[in-house]
Structure 1
Amino acid sequence: MKRLWNAVAAALCVTMLASACASGNVSDAKADNSEDKKKKSTEKEYQGCLDMIQPRAYSNINGLNLEPGSYISIIGKSADGQYWEAVEKGVLQAVSDLNKELGYKGKDKIKVTYSGPATAYDVDEQVNILDEELDRYPVALGIAMVDAKACDVQFDLAAEGDIPVVAFDSGSDYQGLMATVESDNDKSARAAADKMAEAIDDAGEIIIFANDSKSKSSQEREQSFAAQVAEQHPNVDVVDAYHKDQLPEMQKRVADEINAGTYLRDGEEQPTEEIAPDSISEEDVIKYLFAKHPDVKGCYATSGEAVNMVVDAVDRLERKDLKIIGYDADEAEMEALSDGKITGLIVQNPFGMGYATVVAAARAAMKAGNEAVVNTGYTWVTEENYKEKDIKKLLY
């Protein structure tokens, strides 16, 4: 089959070259051929991400006859970071494909913006961005909610202005959402629980680390993981949880224990004066968690940021025995995985998520109807398989 394809490709190249020679423009033919190869290479790069999307209708732009000059707004949890950059690439690719399919050029092109808080997971800034985008009257809007309950007022205003809203990455229970484009957080978290149990021989203590406590995706990943442990692994215990957005509460918890004499930081004696919570650093908090649970065997992290936080903490504490399982696949995570510091990662499909969000938004703008949930898939990545061709295509 490969030889046949090579023969066909060679014949095509000869035909193109001959045609170009006849018109006296060989260099243009070579340039066109190079551009075609580049285009095919690009398509291969992201096709694997689109193939993971279910239903399949959300993996392509067929039938999306948006009006010329339509504007779609996409708002993430962050303006940067490798995960969100991959989402943005998917968004831009979908719009590029759509304009090409519809033949829109210049002012007729469908326009899209991707925006997000400069500081990741900043609820107030995201709400401000949402307000600004609604004032621009997009034909549809997609948003990954930092706080599942923070945007209801804006969504009511969007409904009044006939602006359909699609959630992606992390949704909410708001009844007016046209669709939610996401990984299957319940299924992936339960799979992570099973992998963790296997890694610690189905017995021992686990601590959960989450970047936030307010987004629905983070809540689902924490709750489903804990539920799977309780239901299927009776000798495994989730003994504590740390949420980065609740650092002040944890600082107070540590300070209260120090002041009560039930916990002392390394090398310190009982203080003669009361310790203030703001004198406790995040590193102090994480050391406290491991000190209070010296027999912990594993750490489960619900996001890439949380994974990197745990890896750094485990390195400082020199706890090479701990098993770490979490989400995403940025450069720091992949380096830690290749070094054997991470047991495994639930790798999402941010490119596909961005692409499918544009499709869902376009369908909503056209009042074409949407699936309530669009599943963009995930894959389990380990030190053993991350170099495999099919896996590498999904990494970002």
Structure 2
Amino acid sequence: MKKITSVLLILILILTLVACAKNDKGQKTDSTPTTDNKTETKKEETPVKEDNSKKEETTAKEETSKNFDIIWVSCSTESEFWQYQEIGMRNAVKDMQEKHGIKINFTTVGPATEAETESYIRAFENAIAAQPSAIISATQVPDSTRSVSKEAMDRGIVVNFTNCGLETLDSNEFSDCYNQFYTTVSADVGDLAGKIMIEKLNEAGIPLEGIIAMEFSNVNPSLQPRMDNFKAYVEANSKIKVLDTLYNNNDLEQAQADIENQIATHGDKLIGIYGANNISGDGIALAVENAGIKDKVITIGVDSDPIEIAALEAGTLDCIIVQDAYGQGYAALENAVLTLIDGKNPEKEQKVVMPPVAVTTENMKEEKYAALLNPKLLEK
């Protein structure tokens, strides 16, 4: 009996030990990470690859969401020519906002007339003080404008000039004073005006001998070739004497009085009159109309305004040499915005030339020439 009891006790002890071993094994299994946990650990340790394309898109969106303040410092807010430039700029503002998803705050400052040069410089200085993104301007006094323009550029303001800039096309002395310049070559204006004068005299059957008078606003070295080249072309291709230029300081009454005096002084010997800007052209048209001599003289103006356009249609002006005022203004604004967006000037050349065009009584109604004469037709 004792033997049986001993055997039973030994069996119970063995079973107990086996059960404990199983429990220990089970506990170890429970503490081991599952396959899912291992996968999660690997995901956390693997570096995340950056999506550079999305990053670039974000940067581009941030760049093009900027607001830009651009000031047009006009040398004459009353002049139609500079108003035509502004139409080009305002159209460019609308186009650039739509194309690039930006906001442009565009304002205009400047004196009423070109003769108010001190007021122009003050307006430029005040524009700099406002710290805009860009300034667009045209100057009748480049010597006085260079220093203020350089100051603006040094402050990080993009400065573009249109039509009348800081230096002649063959100079790079002041290239650090501005970003970009769009213009028409003054010599080309003079050459074209001289060519048209000879052609029109021949068409009218007027002998190429006699006197031609010249009228302009004021002395401006960068614009002087309008007069010099006209005179040189006419005198080289005829026996005509071209008189020295009379200056009206952009005063219409003075311009008209000058031409009326020339008509009275030279009588039938006066066969042609050339005015190298729109105010001079206005004075010519009014004086010729009052004198009733439109069939006896060939008359040419430069740049257009409502008085000149009406005179061209009536025949008191035979031709207007037109610069692309709208195109120059548009390009100056567009370039300023692209320079701001890209951080550099997109033009290959710092000076870009736009050629003049001769608009006559015969072609003025054609769409191309009508828009050059009156850019208000293009206003958006």
**Fold conserved (TM > 0.5)?**
yes
The 5-angstrom pairing of residues 335-354 of structure 1 reads 335-354=310-329
Letter in 1 for 2:69: Y
Letter in 2 for 1:340: G
Residue in structure 1 matched with residue 116 of structure 2 by the alignment: 122
Equivalent-residue separation in structure 2 for 1:305 and 1:144 (angstroms): 17
Residue in structure 2 matched with residue 76 of structure 1 by the alignment: 74
Equivalent-residue separation in structure 2 for 1:368 and 1:384 (angstroms): 40
Residue in structure 1 matched with residue 225 of structure 2 by the alignment: 220
Deviation at 1:281, TM superposition (A): 7.0
Equivalent-residue separation in structure 2 for 1:384 and 1:159 (angstroms): 46
Alpha carbons of structure 1 residues 335 and 70: separation in structure 2 relative to 1, 3 Å? same
Residue in structure 2 matched with residue 361 of structure 1 by the alignment: 336
Equivalent-residue separation in structure 1 for 2:153 and 2:368 (angstroms): 41
Deviation at 1:348, TM superposition (A): 2.2
The C-alpha deviation readout for 1:117-147, integer Å capped at 9, x for no partner, is 1234421111111011011112222111122
Equivalent-residue separation in structure 2 for 1:283 and 1:84 (angstroms): 21
Deviation at 1:154, TM superposition (A): 0.9
SS at structure 2 position matched to 1:80 = coil
Contact 1:186 1:220 in 2 (8 A): yes
Task: Give 2:358's match in structure 1, choosing from 361, 377, 380.
Answer: 380
Any unmatched runs of 5+ in structure 2? 1-62, 168-173, 203-207, 375-380
Task: Give 2:135's match in structure 1, choosing from 122, 138, 141.
Answer: 141
Task: Give 2:243's match in structure 1, choosing from 239, 244, 247.
Answer: 239
The C-alpha deviation readout for 1:136-173, integer Å capped at 9, x for no partner, is 11222211112232212212322331323221111122
The C-alpha deviation readout for 1:196-255, integer Å capped at 9, x for no partner, is 122234433211111222362x3231222223234x4242221221111299xxxxxxxx
Residue in structure 2 matched with residue 395 of structure 1 by the alignment: 373
Deviation at 1:336, TM superposition (A): 0.9
Equivalent-residue separation in structure 1 for 2:157 and 2:209 (angstroms): 50
Alignment: residue pair count: 294
Equivalent-residue separation in structure 1 for 2:241 and 2:185 (angstroms): 24
Contact 1:78 1:115 in 2 (8 A): no
SS at structure 1 position matched to 2:301 = strand
Alpha carbons of structure 1 residues 93 and 246: separation in structure 2 relative to 1, 3 Å? closer
Contact 1:301 1:310 in 2 (8 A): yes
Equivalent-residue separation in structure 2 for 1:141 and 1:301 (angstroms): 30
Equivalent-residue separation in structure 1 for 2:89 and 2:143 (angstroms): 25
Contact 1:170 1:215 in 2 (8 A): no
Alpha carbons of structure 1 residues 197 and 306: separation in structure 2 relative to 1, 3 Å? same
Letter in 1 for 2:324: N
Equivalent-residue separation in structure 2 for 1:99 and 1:325 (angstroms): 39
Residue in structure 2 matched with residue 18 of structure 1 by the alignment: none
TM-score under structure 2 normalisation? Answer: 0.70
Letter in 2 for 1:213: V
Equivalent-residue separation in structure 2 for 1:388 and 1:124 (angstroms): 41
Residue in structure 2 matched with residue 154 of structure 1 by the alignment: 148
Letter in 2 for 1:328: D
Deviation at 1:297, TM superposition (A): 1.1
Alpha carbons of structure 1 residues 182 and 388: separation in structure 2 relative to 1, 3 Å? same
Contact 2:160 2:336 in 1 (8 A): yes
Using the aligned pairs only, state the percent identity: 24
Alpha carbons of structure 1 residues 244 and 284: separation in structure 2 relative to 1, 3 Å? closer
Contact 1:147 1:215 in 2 (8 A): no
TM-score under structure 1 normalisation? Answer: 0.68
Equivalent-residue separation in structure 2 for 1:155 and 1:214 (angstroms): 18
Deviation at 1:192, TM superposition (A): 0.8
Equivalent-residue separation in structure 2 for 1:101 and 1:112 (angstroms): 17
The 5-angstrom pairing of residues 157-306 of structure 1 reads 157-173=151-167, 174-175=174-175, 176-201=177-202, 202-214=208-220, 216=222, 218-230=223-235, 232-245=236-249, 285-294=258-267, 295-306=269-280
Contact 1:117 1:126 in 2 (8 A): yes
Deviation at 1:325, TM superposition (A): 0.6
Higher alpha-carbon Rg? 2
SS at structure 2 position matched to 1:83 = helix
1:314 matches 2:312: no
Equivalent-residue separation in structure 1 for 2:80 and 2:147 (angstroms): 30
Alpha carbons of structure 1 residues 343 and 361: separation in structure 2 relative to 1, 3 Å? same
Residue in structure 1 matched with residue 307 of structure 2 by the alignment: 332
Equivalent-residue separation in structure 1 for 2:240 and 2:157 (angstroms): 47
Equivalent-residue separation in structure 2 for 1:215 and 1:350 (angstroms): 20
SS at structure 2 position matched to 1:393 = helix
More off after superposition, 376-385 vs 339-348: 376-385
Equivalent-residue separation in structure 2 for 1:68 and 1:207 (angstroms): 53
Equivalent-residue separation in structure 1 for 2:225 and 2:310 (angstroms): 27
Any unmatched runs of 5+ in structure 1? 1-64, 248-279
Equivalent-residue separation in structure 2 for 1:355 and 1:336 (angstroms): 27
Letter in 2 for 1:313: A
SS at structure 2 position matched to 1:324 = strand
